């Protein structure tokens, strides 16, 4: 309290002692209760005390002093009075006073020893503190409530004085931050700048906000809270600074810190889910578009550029369809991780849909197209590496589409759409490249592709698909032996759509599975129908899609279709391409082996176009290789090309596979194939693919190849005469007609080659000097193409050197001169035919030898097996015959053989003679069939000799264990009639 | 086969569907199915016999203790005709070893008995005599005669007293399986006589069960008829053990060669693929068993062609023409054997 000198009253004297009257007045007027206790009764009380305790003054005086004390404290009050009287000091204390009406109140009492009436007494000063106590209790309750509330709300608070930044932390905050309870006497205050529960790097922020707080205006912000156990929380910090300034010039502030870690995490997760793919965690389309949008703005300002690369992996959809969602997700995740790993800074990865990814490549300046292509190809190489899923290697086969900003579009959505459009164009584009840039015309193609896809989805249900059949002809018989079933689609809206166009779409959209199954079912139904109609059996080949081959239960599916349609497996073939088979050789081998074992033929399509190694090919159960049309050459082709065809055929035969050549379009090709032992042909030359009715008609009328191409038919001898002079040809024909040859003629080398293609020529007689190509050259060519022909030059001019060379290199068999001697010429030509026949026969024999050689290994193995068995048998016989049987049989004593199992295994002749019922012994158990005394000798440890009486005859018995090389062989039991001399046995 | 030329009767079609009902119900092509179609000339759509209303598990159980079986099985029922012919042949002056072997091969019980004796440790080559030819060579004709005389005394010649067990059908199946196995082995250049033995003996477990556990086995047979499940599955459920296991245990106990034991054990469940590409006797017997079931020789109206394990079928690797020839050989062979024995 500050004194105010202006209001002071200087008239009142300052006495050190009041007068008695004044003193009495002071005591009576004091608001504090005073009483004097002497001799344990109340000797004096002032009116304030009497009021307090509700006693009339007159009655109060003389009462025992404890009458105003609550009963439970009376003893304490008494001892306190006694102690004061005893001269000891007491401290002020709380007590509970009792009013006359029985109610009680809290009071503060001070006792002091005084002299009253000349004798010692106790002065008690009592002040009513019930108001204060109530307030205290309220405060305690409030504090407890705060602590519990803070705990429940995961919040804490502190009180702070600014600007000193001294603060007082609530128990809730301590609990939240894991701070230890302050020990008794520790300072409960600390400095905001040193508050340990705020991470050091955020203390300045928190303190700064408080220092700059506007008084009276609440504020809130978030920061982290360091928990003593090492964890960190995120808290919402709400604070307000009071406007009032206290005496020390400080402002009081209060802060509440609420733990919002869980909410914050949920928010983050929500954001994640909203903006990211849930399988891979990559940004999704929405958030990617935001990023692209930002990039377009940035690029406009800085004249930069960026590129979008849309990547589609249809294989993911196929895997989901064939191996389930789990496998599909696993593949997606692994590819997403691969893509994210391959992309560096300035490259943003996102996932657009189940099978689609996109990468944004940002460039500082507009880049060269080649740079982008190279980067895209790098990414493609990374993505296309096989992914191991369970036990299978999956080849992802990604398709890339590229759109660039700003050239291909302005807005984010437009750019993304164009990148996707470009990608859809990629599959159909030039072969081998699956990276495509956006081109304006891609749009039209994509629109058509989308039409096709939606149409294709209904094609099966609407019965718009059908199969046509291209006949396959066996060269050995010339007859139709099979057909390849080819899919056709006639859409009411789109017209006839080429398989080349819709099959890739079916593969991309996953429809290929259903379509493949439809094809197999339809082909089987057709095959069963033909068989029931009594047509000759033909094998219908259906093409397998990669998705079908990946099904582990393909064989079972094929079986089910066969059962349902009633088709014979011998009338079904499946064709797969080399690249499909090579994608996962062990899997393909297992599935195909199963299919083959039910009798379905396996063909390898497009042979020669892939990169299959021979060792892989060997491990697959392939019956037929279909040689691609690009290997089929005409007679006019270079000899090296012809030898490629020949090598493929020889190799396939070497691997015990048949050869079917497809795309045979000319007679020349056919002749060449027939001459080189091709097994089957298919192609326009014989028939294009035809509807089933037309195919059926071909079967009915027995359409077949002309006989001259049929390899197994013995043909007449064919002679080719080549000369540019018509009259020479005419006279030769006249001369040779009588020998019964089939004569074909040509007036030039080119025409001669044509005749060779059309006819199976045995002997060629050619002029040497012809325009265009000389006879020797022509015959050289003929040798390369048809090495089996016998070639003769008939010439009036002797360019000796070239002819000698030709003879030496084997191109010419004989050289004859014009004019000719009729009989000599005829003899020479007849000799040439003999030569040819002999060569043919030799080749046939050579083939037989080759076949026999192929069997030789098997025969050897068989022989070896037989020899081994013979050896064992011989051994068996030797053991039996030599060592035991005969000797034992001839022994003049009865011998029984008992094996380790206790079975009677042997009875010799003597035993059969002397022992009754010996015939029943063999094969029975000794303990059942022999007298117990004999058995005892075998089993028991006691002696090995004994005597026994069987059927009245007495025998000496000797049993001996047989120890063979491989352990115990049982026992030999000798029974000797008693009358035999002892000496025999010793 | 002349049947191929005749118009197939609906009954023949239905019969084929019945034989292969197990595979057809499962939607699987049996590799023999189409070959049999060709063999019998049956063609056209067929109805698959429906499975019994509720595919049920075996309800009754009558367990068999295989250990007890081993101890008890000593004699198995034989055909008296075979024994009498053999004894007569042995008495003749110009008795020939291979003639005896051929006659002996026609009876499962006598063949088993001979092999058991020859594989006795007493003769020093246990587990190595796999054919009756070798066994007779080892034992000698005199001992063979003694054994057969003993057999004539001790063996039962009555069919096993097991209701539902058709001894004649069983016998035909055994002989036919032996012939089929031999024919396949000839194609595949395997040991023909050994494969014959394995084929002949492959169902020895059924005979043992019918002889020594007639009551239990007849329960299993009845369950099999009602549930229409493959016999080995029913046996496992009812008896706790299947005839292949029982047969293999007996064959092992009698010290038959390991590949014969294996063929008996595995004739319903051959080895998995990847176990070598060459066919074993077990593969041959597996295929022979299916072929004989498919040829419907036992006369059992509930005949059931067991599924063919494709890896084994692939290892045996018969071509269609070889199969068709095999069918005719087996049918002719069994007809001849039956005629000779008046069965």
The span from the CA of A683 to the CA of A664, in Å, is 4
Shortest alpha-carbon distance between residue A773 and chain B (Å): 52
Q: Does B154 touch chain A (CB under 8 A)?
A: yes
pLDDT mean across residues, chain A: 81
Q: Do B122 and A920 touch (CB under 8 A)?
A: no
Flag whether pLDDT at A927 surpasses 60. yes
**What is the arithmetic mean of pLDDT over B37-53?**
74
Shortest alpha-carbon distance between residue A563 and chain B (Å): 6
**What is the arithmetic mean of pLDDT over A487-496?**
87
pLDDT at res. A126:
87
| pTM for this prediction | 0.55
Tens of pLDDT, residue by residue over A303-315, are 778 888 888 888 8
Q: Do B146 and A922 touch (CB under 8 A)?
A: yes
Flag whether pLDDT at B343 surpasses 70. no
DSSP string, A12-27: S---SS--HHHHHHHH
Tens of pLDDT, residue by residue over A95-113, are 888 888 888 888 888 888 8
Lowest model confidence (mean pLDDT) among A235-239, A477-481, B110-114, B227-231: B227-231
Q: Which residue has the tokens 């352990």?
A: A967
Q: Do B29 and A594 touch (CB under 8 A)?
A: no
Q: Do A598 and B31 touch (CB under 8 A)?
A: yes
For residue A357, list its beta bridge partners: A311, A351
Task: Determine how many CB atoms are found less than 10 A away from the CB of residue A783.
Answer: 20
Q: Does B31 touch chain A (CB under 8 A)?
A: yes
Q: Which residue has the tokens 């593949």?
A: A331
| Helices (H) then strands (E): counts for chain B | 18, 0
Q: Do B134 and A873 touch (CB under 8 A)?
A: yes
Q: Does B258 touch chain A (CB under 8 A)?
A: no
Shortest alpha-carbon distance between residue A478 and chain B (Å): 22
Q: Do B117 and A869 touch (CB under 8 A)?
A: no
Q: Do A906 and B147 touch (CB under 8 A)?
A: no
Compute, in degrees rounded to 10, the torsion defined by CA atoms A925, A928, A931, A933. Answer: 80
> Which residue does chain B place closest to A553, by CA atoms?
B28
DSSP helix, strand, coil percent of chain A (3-state; round to 5): 45, 25, 30
Of residues A472 and A187, which shows the higher confidence score?
A: A472
Q: Are A587 and A551 in contact (CB under 8 A)?
A: no
In chain B, which among 279-308 make CB contacts under 8 A with chain A? Answer: none
pLDDT at res. B2:
38
Flag whether pLDDT at B3 surpasses 50. no
The span from the CA of A938 to the CA of A961, in Å, is 8
pLDDT at res. A427:
57
Please report residues of B whose CB lies closer than 8 A to that of A922.
117, 143, 146-147, 150
pLDDT at res. B263:
92
Q: Does B74 touch chain A (CB under 8 A)?
A: yes
CA distances from A37 to A66, A119, A317 (A): 10, 11, 103
Q: Do B138 and A889 touch (CB under 8 A)?
A: no
Q: Which residue has the tokens 């944004």?
A: A360
Shortest alpha-carbon distance between residue A685 and chain B (Å): 32
Written as six digits, the tokens of B111 are 């063949």
Tens of pLDDT, residue by residue over A387-427, are 887 777 788 888 888 888 877 877 888 888 888 888 776 65
Q: Do B142 and A909 touch (CB under 8 A)?
A: yes
Q: Tell me which H or E stretch contains A766.
A: strand A763-766
Of residues A499 and A872, which shows the higher confidence score?
A: A499
Shortest alpha-carbon distance between residue A916 and chain B (Å): 13
Q: Do B120 and A862 touch (CB under 8 A)?
A: no
The span from the CA of A973 to the CA of A937, in Å, is 9
Would you place residue A540 in the very low, low, confident or very high pLDDT band (cuts 50, 70, 90)? very high
Would you place residue A541 in the very low, low, confident or very high pLDDT band (cuts 50, 70, 90)? very high
Nearest to A421 by CA among A409, A431, A430, A433: A409
Q: Do A906 and B122 touch (CB under 8 A)?
A: yes
CA distances from A980 to A357, A910, A949, A977 (A): 105, 14, 15, 6
pLDDT at res. A633:
64
Q: Which domains does chain B have, with CATH numbers?
A: 10-77+158-341 (1.10.3210), 80-155 (no CATH)
> Which residue does chain A place closest to B312, by CA atoms?
A597
**What is the arithmetic mean of pLDDT over B261-286?**
81
Q: Do A559 and B27 touch (CB under 8 A)?
A: yes
Flag whether pLDDT at A984 surpasses 70. no
pLDDT at res. B265:
92
Lowest model confidence (mean pLDDT) among A349-363, A678-692, B35-49: B35-49
For residue A107, list its beta bridge partners: A95, A128
Written as six digits, the tokens of A530 are 């033909």
A385: CB partners within 8 A, 6+ apart: A338, A396
**What is the arithmetic mean of pLDDT over A764-777?**
86
Q: Does B147 touch chain A (CB under 8 A)?
A: yes
The span from the CA of A428 to the CA of A426, in Å, is 6
Give which of B101, B122, B314, B318 to mutate to test A binding, by max A Cβ within 10 Å: B122
Would you place residue A431 in the very low, low, confident or very high pLDDT band (cuts 50, 70, 90)? very low
**What is the arithmetic mean of pLDDT over A15-26?**
75
pLDDT at res. B43:
67
Q: Are B90 and B144 in contact (CB under 8 A)?
A: yes
CA distances from B307 to A229, A561, A697, B232, B304 (A): 67, 18, 39, 12, 9
pLDDT at res. A8:
47
Angle between helix B281-294 and helix B192-201 axes, rounded to 10 deg: 60
C-alpha A671: how far from chain center: 50
Please report residues of A whose CB lies closer than 8 A to that of B314.
593, 596-597
Q: Do A912 and B320 touch (CB under 8 A)?
A: no
Q: Does B340 touch chain A (CB under 8 A)?
A: no
Give which of A656, A861, A923, A970 to mutate to test B binding, by max B Cβ within 10 Å: A923
Q: Do B34 and A570 touch (CB under 8 A)?
A: yes
Flag whether pLDDT at A185 surpasses 70. no
SS (H, E, C) A323-340: HCHHHHHHHHHHHHHHHH
Q: Does B134 touch chain A (CB under 8 A)?
A: yes
CA distances from B274 to A595, A613, B279 (A): 16, 22, 12
A487: CB partners within 8 A, 6+ apart: A465, A466, A467, A499, A503, A515, A519, A543
Tens of pLDDT, residue by residue over A814-859, are 888 888 888 888 888 888 888 888 888 787 778 777 777 767 776 7
**What is the arithmetic mean of pLDDT over B261-278?**
77
Nearest to A885 by CA among A875, A873, A895: A895
Would you place residue A138 in the very low, low, confident or very high pLDDT band (cuts 50, 70, 90)? confident
**What is the arithmetic mean of pLDDT over A208-214?**
85
Lowest model confidence (mean pLDDT) among A27-41, A321-335, A580-594, B266-280: B266-280
The span from the CA of B210 to the CA of A130, in Å, is 107
CB pairs under 8 A between A and B: 141
Q: Do A562 and B29 touch (CB under 8 A)?
A: yes
Q: Which of B27, B45, B142 sits opposite A566 (nearest CB)?
A: B45
Please report residues of A whose CB lies closer than 8 A to that of B76.
none
Q: Which of B113, B123, B129 sits opposite A905 (nearest CB)?
A: B123
Q: What is the ipTM of this complex?
A: 0.76
- The SS3 call for residue A873 is helix
Nearest to A314 by CA among A450, A508, A449, A457: A508
For residue A815, list its beta bridge partners: A793
Tens of pLDDT, residue by residue over A351-398, are 888 888 999 888 877 778 888 888 888 888 888 888 887 777 788 888
pLDDT at res. A964:
62
Q: Are A420 and A401 in contact (CB under 8 A)?
A: yes
Compute, in degrees rounded to 10, the torsion defined by CA atoms A507, A513, A514, A516. Answer: 90
Please report residues of A whose CB lies closer than 8 A to that of B311.
593, 597
Percent of chain A exceeding pLDDT 90 equals: 7
Task: Determine how many CB atoms are found less than 10 A away from the CB of residue A123.
Answer: 18
The span from the CA of A866 to the CA of A111, in Å, is 131
Please report residues of A whose CB lies closer than 8 A to that of B190.
865
Q: Which residue has the tokens 């109206």?
A: B301
pLDDT at res. A639:
64
Q: Which of A532, A562, A922 sits opposite B143 (nearest CB)?
A: A922
Tens of pLDDT, residue by residue over A269-299, are 877 777 777 778 888 888 888 888 888 888 7
For residue A819, say if its preceding peptide bond is cis, omega within 30 degrees of 0: yes
Please report residues of B whose CB lies closer than 8 A to that of A966.
124
Burial zone of A180 (CB within 10 Å; 0-12 exposed, 13-18 middle, 19+ buried)? exposed
pLDDT at res. B274:
56
pLDDT at res. B310:
83
pLDDT at res. A2:
44
Q: Do A922 and B117 touch (CB under 8 A)?
A: yes
CA angle A162–A168–A172, rounded 5-degree value:
135
Shortest alpha-carbon distance between residue A628 and chain B (Å): 28
pLDDT at res. A395:
80
Region of A530 please: left (phi>0), alpha (psi -120 to 50) or beta: alpha
């Amino acid at each position: 309290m500050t004194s105010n000198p202006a209001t002071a009253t200087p008239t009142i004297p300052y006495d050190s002692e009041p007068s008695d009257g004044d003193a009495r007045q002071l005591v009576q007027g004091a608001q504090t209760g005073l009483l004097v206790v002497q001799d344990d009764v109340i000797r004096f009380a002032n009116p304030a005390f009497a009021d307090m305790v509700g006693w009339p003054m007159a009655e109060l005086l003389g009462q025992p002093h404890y009458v105003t004390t609550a009963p439970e404290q009376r003893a304490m009050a008494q001892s306190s009075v006694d102690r004061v009287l005893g001269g000891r000091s007491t401290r002020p204390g709380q007590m509970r006073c009792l009013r006359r009406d029985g109610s009680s109140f809290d009071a503060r009492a001070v006792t002091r020893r005084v002299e009253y009436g000349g004798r010692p007494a106790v002065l008690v000063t009592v002040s009513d503190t019930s108001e204060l106590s109530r307030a205290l209790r309220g405060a305690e309750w409030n504090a407890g409530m705060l602590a519990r509330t803070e705990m429940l709300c995961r919040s804490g608070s502190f009180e702070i004085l600014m600007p000193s930044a001294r603060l007082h932390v609530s128990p809730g905050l301590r609990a939240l931050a894991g701070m230890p309870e302050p020990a008794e006497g520790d300072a409960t205050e600390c400095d905001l700048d040193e508050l340990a529960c705020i991470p050091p790097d955020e203390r300045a922020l928190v303190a700064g906000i408080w220092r700059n707080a506007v008084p009276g205006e609440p504020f809130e912000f978030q920061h982290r809270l360091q928990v003593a156990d090492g964890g960190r929380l995120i808290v919402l910090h709400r604070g307000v600074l009071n406007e009032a300034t206290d005496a020390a010039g400080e402002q009081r502030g209060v802060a509440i810190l609420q733990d919002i870690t869980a909410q914050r995490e949920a928010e983050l997760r929500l954001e994640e889910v909203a903006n990211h793919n849930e399988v891979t965690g990559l940004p999704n389309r929405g958030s990617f578009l935001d990023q692209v949008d930002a990039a377009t703005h940035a690029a406009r300002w800085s004249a930069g550029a960026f590129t979008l690369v849309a990547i589609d992996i249809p294989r993911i959809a196929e895997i989901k369809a064939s191996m389930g969602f789990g496998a599909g997700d696993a593949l997606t995740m692994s590819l997403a991780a691969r893509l994210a790993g391959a992309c560096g800074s300035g490259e943003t990865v996102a996932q657009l849909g189940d099978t689609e990814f996109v990468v944004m490549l940002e460039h500082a300046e507009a880049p060269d197209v080649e740079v982008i292509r190279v980067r895209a190809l790098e990414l493609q190489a990374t993505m296309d590496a096989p992914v191991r899923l369970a036990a299978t290697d999956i080849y992802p086969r990604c398709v890339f589409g590229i759109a660039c900003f700003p050239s291909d579009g302005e807005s984010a959505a437009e750019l993304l759409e164009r990148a996707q459009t470009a990608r859809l164009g990629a599959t159909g584009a030039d072969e081998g490249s699956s990276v495509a840039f956006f081109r304006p015309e891609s749009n039209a193609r994509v629109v058509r592709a989308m039409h096709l896809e939606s149409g294709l989805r209904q094609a099966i249900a609407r019965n718009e698909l059908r199969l046509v059949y291209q006949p396959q002809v066996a060269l050995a018989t010339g007859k139709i032996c099979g057909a390849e079933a080819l899919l056709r689609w006639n859409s009411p809206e789109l017209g006839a759509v080429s398989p080349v166009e819709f099959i890739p779409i079916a593969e991309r959209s996953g429809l290929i599975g259903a379509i493949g199954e439809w094809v197999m079912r339809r082909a089987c139904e057709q095959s069963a129908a033909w068989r029931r109609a009594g047509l000759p059996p033909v094998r219908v080949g259906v093409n397998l899609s990669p998705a079908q081959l990946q099904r582990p239960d393909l064989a079972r599916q094929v079986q089910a279709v066969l059962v349902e349609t009633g088709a014979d497996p011998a009338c079904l073939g499946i064709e797969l391409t080399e690249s499909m088979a090579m994608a996962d050789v062990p899997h393909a081998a297992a599935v195909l082996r199963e299919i083959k074992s039910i009798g379905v033929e396996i063909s390898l399509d497009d042979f020669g176009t892939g990169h299959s190694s021979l060792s892989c090919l060997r491990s697959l159960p392939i019956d037929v290789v279909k040689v691609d049309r690009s290997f089929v050459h005409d007679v006019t082709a270079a000899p090296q090309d012809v030898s490629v065809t020949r090598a493929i055929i020889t190799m396939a035969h070497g691997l015990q596979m048949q050869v079917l050549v497809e795309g045979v379009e000319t007679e020349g090709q056919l002749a060449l194939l027939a001459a080189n032992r091709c097994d089957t042909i298919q192609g326009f030359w014989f028939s294009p693919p035809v509807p089933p009715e037309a195919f059926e008609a071909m079967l009915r009328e027995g359409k077949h190849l002309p006989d001259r191409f049929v390899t197994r038919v013995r043909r007449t001898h064919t002679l080719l005469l080549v000369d540019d002079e018509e009259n020479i040809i005419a006279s030769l024909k006249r001369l040779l007609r009588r020998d019964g040859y089939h004569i074909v003629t040509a007036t030039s080398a080119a025409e001669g080659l044509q005749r060779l293609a059309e006819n199976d020529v045995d002997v060629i007689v050619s002029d040497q000097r012809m325009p265009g190509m000389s006879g020797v050259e022509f015959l050289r060519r003929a040798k390369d193409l048809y090495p089996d022909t016998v070639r003769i030059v008939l010439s009036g001019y002797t360019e000796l050197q070239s002819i000698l060379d030709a003879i030496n290199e084997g191109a010419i068999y004989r050289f004859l001169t014009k004019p000719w001697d009729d009989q000599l010429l005829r003899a020479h030509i007849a000799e040439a035919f003999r030569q040819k026949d002999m060569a043919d026969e030799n080749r046939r024999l050579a083939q037989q030898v080759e076949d026999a050689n192929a069997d030789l290994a098997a025969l050897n193995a068989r022989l070896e097996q037989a020899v081994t068995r013979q050896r064992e048998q011989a051994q068996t016989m030797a053991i039996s015959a030599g060592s035991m049987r005969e000797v034992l049989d001839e022994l003049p004593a009865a011998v029984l053989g008992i094996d380790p199992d206790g079975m009677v295994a042997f009875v010799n002749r003597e035993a059969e003679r002397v022992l009754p019922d010996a015939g029943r012994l063999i094969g029975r158990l000794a303990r059942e069939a022999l007298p117990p005394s004999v058995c005892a000798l075998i089993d028991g440890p006691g002696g090995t000799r004994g005597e026994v009486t069987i059927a009245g005859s007495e025998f000496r018995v000797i049993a001996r264990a047989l120890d063979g090389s491989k352990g115990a062989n049982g026992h030999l039991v000798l029974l000797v009639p008693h009358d035999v001399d002892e000496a025999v046995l010793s | 086969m002349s049947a191929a030329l005749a118009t197939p009767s609906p009954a023949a079609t239905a019969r084929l569907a019945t034989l292969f009902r197990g595979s057809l119900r499962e939607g699987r092509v049996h590799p023999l199915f189409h070959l049999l179609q060709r063999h019998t000339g049956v063609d056209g759509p067929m109805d698959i016999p429906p499975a019994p209303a509720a595919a049920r598990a075996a309800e009754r159980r009558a367990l068999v203790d295989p250990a007890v079986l081993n101890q008890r099985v000593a004699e198995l029922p034989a055909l008296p005709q075979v024994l009498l012919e053999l004894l007569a042949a042995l008495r003749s002056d110009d008795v020939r070893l291979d003639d005896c072997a051929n006659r002996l091969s026609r009876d499962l019980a006598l063949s088993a008995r001979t092999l058991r004796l020859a594989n006795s440790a007493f003769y020093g080559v246990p587990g190595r005599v796999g054919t009756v030819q070798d066994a007779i060579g080892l034992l000698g004709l005199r001992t063979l005669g003694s054994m057969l005389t003993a057999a004539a005394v001790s063996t039962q010649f009555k069919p096993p007293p097991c209701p539902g067990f058709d001894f004649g059908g069983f016998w035909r199946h055994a002989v036919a399986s032996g012939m089929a196995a031999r024919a396949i082995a000839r194609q595949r250049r395997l040991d023909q006589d050994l494969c014959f033995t394995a084929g002949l003996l492959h169902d020895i477990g059924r005979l043992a069960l019918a002889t020594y556990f007639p009551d239990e086995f007849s329960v299993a047979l009845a369950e099999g008829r009602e549930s229409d499940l493959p016999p080995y599955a029913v046996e496992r459920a009812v008896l706790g053990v299947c005839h292949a296991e029982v047969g293999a245990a007996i064959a092992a106990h009698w010290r038959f060669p390991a590949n014969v034991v294996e063929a008996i054990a595995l004739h319903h469940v051959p080895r998995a693929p990847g176990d070598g590409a060459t066919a074993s006797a077990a593969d041959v017997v597996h295929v022979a068993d299916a072929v004989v079931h498919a040829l419907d020789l036992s006369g059992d109206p509930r005949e059931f062609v067991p599924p063919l394990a494709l890896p084994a079928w692939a290892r045996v690797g018969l071509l269609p023409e070889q199969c068709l020839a095999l069918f005719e050989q087996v049918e002719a062979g069994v007809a001849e054997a039956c005629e000779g024995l008046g069965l």
